[in-house]
Chains A and B, each alone.
Chain A
Amino acid sequence: AQSVTQLDSQVPVFEEAPVELRCNYSSSVSVYLFWYVQYPNQGLQLLLKYLSGSTLVKGINGFEAEFNKSQTSFHLRKPSVHISDTAEYFCAVRTGGFKTIFGAGTRLFVKA
């Protein structure tokens, strides 16, 4: 069975600094990988997805993620964060079928 581990529950960072949110997955078959963002009092929104092809995926709001099959990782990065990036970020995996498995979430705090 597949699983998703987000290695950090909270990540504080200063504005304009780079950030990396870590995600590892476990699956014995090919996967589709997603990052979602949740702002306060809102639902989850898709940031980016990896389906196949290039391992570097660019998403909205300047975020990107790199798929590393050998390390079974899909870390999310942004070179310079803004206050408005403060939110909770969820990594998710699907191996086919209907079910998507979500990680526990990483709360990103951007400080002025």
Chain B
Amino acid sequence: DAGVIQSPRHEVTEMGQEVTLRCKLISGHNSLFWYRQTMMRGLELLIYFNNNVPIDDSGMPEDRFSAKMPNASFSTLKIQPSEPRDSAVYFCASSAIPPFLNSNQPQHFGDGTRLSIL
């Protein structure tokens, strides 16, 4: 089975531009997590969805960041306008969470998008 697929793998753009990162979940998974990883702050959870619904977006740094799940298998993370401090590696991860919340299922990570804002 294919794992979590992220695109693009690398993105370099100038500040002020809109950036869209994409993620395809593993088939059958119903939870989606977006993380940001930097040397200074480590791995930060930005937002997570369950069954296409955003459950907690308290980690989203600013209104410039937005995330959507237009369907059960796909998500986008958008930054508009982008700034140099947004440079990081962005990961998405998916998991199979059963209807009851007490889940022991691990998360499966994509290979990340390395974003550089000049």
Interface size class of B (residues with CB under 8 A): 20 to 34
Whether the pair A102, B42 counts as a contact (CB closer than 8 A) is yes
A104-B42 contact given A43-B112, A44-B109, CB 8 Å threshold: yes
Looking at chain B's contact residues, is the secondary structure mostly helix, strand, loop, or mixed?
Answer: strand
* A51 contact set on B, CB distance < 8 A: 104
Total residues of chain A contacting the partner, CB 8 A: 21
- In the bound assembly, the distance between CA atoms of A101 and B55 in angstroms comes to 16
Q: Do the beta carbons of B111 and A42 come within 8 Å of each other? A: yes
Q: Point out the residues of chain A lying under 8 angstroms from B110, CB to CB.
A: 43
The answer to whether the Cβ of B99 comes within 8 Å of any Cβ in the partner chain is no
Within 8 A of A (CB), among B95-115: 97, 101-104, 106-112, 114
List B contacts of A67 (CB < 8 A). none
Q: Which of A20-28, A74-82, A92-100 is the contact stretch?
A: A92-100
The interface bits of chain B over 24-53 (1 if a CB of A lies within 8 angstroms of the residue's CB, else 0) are 000000010100000000110100101000
Q: Which residue in chain B gives the minimum CB-CB distance to A95?
A: B102
A-B residue pairs in contact (CB < 8 Å), sample of 12: A41-B112, A41-B114, A42-B112, A43-B109, A43-B111, A43-B112, A44-B43, A44-B91, A46-B106, A49-B104, A96-B103, A102-B43
The 10 closest A-B pairs by CB, nearest first: A43-B109, A96-B102, A44-B109, A51-B104, A46-B106, A32-B104, A104-B42, A97-B101, A102-B43, A43-B111
